[in-house]
Structure 1
Amino acid sequence: MTSIKHVGVVGAGQMGRGITEVCARAGLHVTLCDVTEDRARAGLTGVADSLLKAEKHGAIGPEDRAHALAGVSVTADLSRLSGADLVIEAAVEDERAKTELFQQLDKVITNPSAVLASNTSSIPIARLAAVTGRPQAVVGLHFFNPVPAMPLVEVIPSMHTSKATEQRVRAFAAETLGKKTIVTQDRAGFVVNSLLVPYLLAAVRMVGSGTATAEDIDTAMTAGCAHPMGPLRLADLIGLDTVAAIGEALYEEYREPLYAPPPLLRRMVESGLLGRKSGQGFFNYQAA
């Protein structure tokens, strides 16, 4: 299998920054791309801040930090990814936006052995592969937040993904990045979110119905079930817009009511109360 040395990451948000960091720390050349140069540079600043924290905590040395940063370049031009061995899409969790992006990537990536991967949380990979001329080289590569700390990566081959592509990205995640990998069928939500999101939505419904406060629901699950984080703080960490988008994708696939985002979640997203990234969700993070 051809080795992966140059990784393109499309999307400089929370997930894109995390993916960029773990790839850079593994000694890879990473090109971080977003719709504007300013957004891409803001992503690089986030990576630099995270690397500095890792150094302060003793996870990496100063030379490792400097080497990782030196391996990252930023751009707003997708064609700069043309020679990448692997391109990981980490854009907004919106099917239309992702399919349009995969159409563009299919045109600009000239490396014949390149793999196009999506970090989607819920959208079936077959739908993204279908808009390209290389469905055998399209795969899901789902990281978890925060990417540098969370060990799991879900590998999701579609019905068209070649076995070579699947094996190549699984080896990349496991051997190059040091992640624990699982392979899951190409169904909305894959493994983790098919189990997790109904739980998060149930907690939102409890708040909406007045069963208990957000604080008490989270305390119940941390103190009563030994969960490291309550469902509502976890939803805030993921992003309430992302939780709603995953719920909608799951509901579209299965038509199960437990997957449908409840009214309270929809109103919060419409009001811009998205959790940690907006400073307010079920909890206030303005002073955090």
Structure 2
Amino acid sequence: MNIWINKVTNEVPFQDYADSFIFSITHETKGTIFSSLKDTWLDIGQRPISEIYEDLFIISLSVFAVDKRLSRWRTKDKWTRKIRISIPVLQLDKWEETKPNWNSTLSFLTGDIWDINFRQSVARYGDSSKPSRYPVDISKSTAVSLFSGGLDSFCGAIELLNKGESVCLLGHNEYPKLREKQESLLNLLRNNYPAQFVEFIGFTANSRAPKNQEDTVLKGTENTSRGRSLLFLCAAISLAGSIGSHIPVYIPENGFIGLNIPLTNSRKGTCSTRTTHPYFIRSFNEIDLPPKAVQIES
């Protein structure tokens, strides 16, 4: 299936994408892809965020939206999707050479066949003139760690603090109760490590059904949501990159589970997340993300 991503401005798809379904990432409520991370960038003083990190987040946000909205039941085997996607980026030359790596990395992550393509964009995501409502200083951070609010991420935060790190925790808020849980655990960490810096930043992301040029709505949704972990990861990289060079991003995860051992039906094959699988971590790190400052560690 052909997918066309618009960012801020509404471009008409190229001829070879004439039959594509169109997702739009805009500042307006009528957009089909939306995220609060652009406001987070303002809150941490990034006006605007570095172009390369904006591109990285737009790529991951696009993958996340398509993964959620393209049902596997539309395919012959009821699983493997063929996805050809055009994504607008600010630094086209730097991303063009990474396409083979992206295709193989995404195919392993989601279990689909990806054909990712980039095109030039000049529009910036997020209004840098907009005042920040909740300014936060994370410049003291020496590490960024993913923080779901689960046991693995909580233990990971404790381990980093025990090592003397100043930690910025990043969480994807899928529902309000989760945010409350994450904030509660943050307070627990602060109470037990009063002399150390620890901050939590939460963000949201979601998508609506796209339409094609004939206004036909793409019906159905997908609940396996394998691409969500890429969004989570790239959001963390954008934060780490904004703090400074060589700030690591940590993925706290049970090492045994990270190997995707099929202990239950939900862990079989592509049903299981591959976020911390050694092959995915290596493959993602091999994408020539310019600059090569941020590395992923599990």
Higher strand share: 2
Structure showing greater relative contact order (alpha-carbon pairs closer than 8 Å, 6 or more residues apart):
2
Which is richer in helix? 1
Return the TM-score normalized by structure 2.
0.27
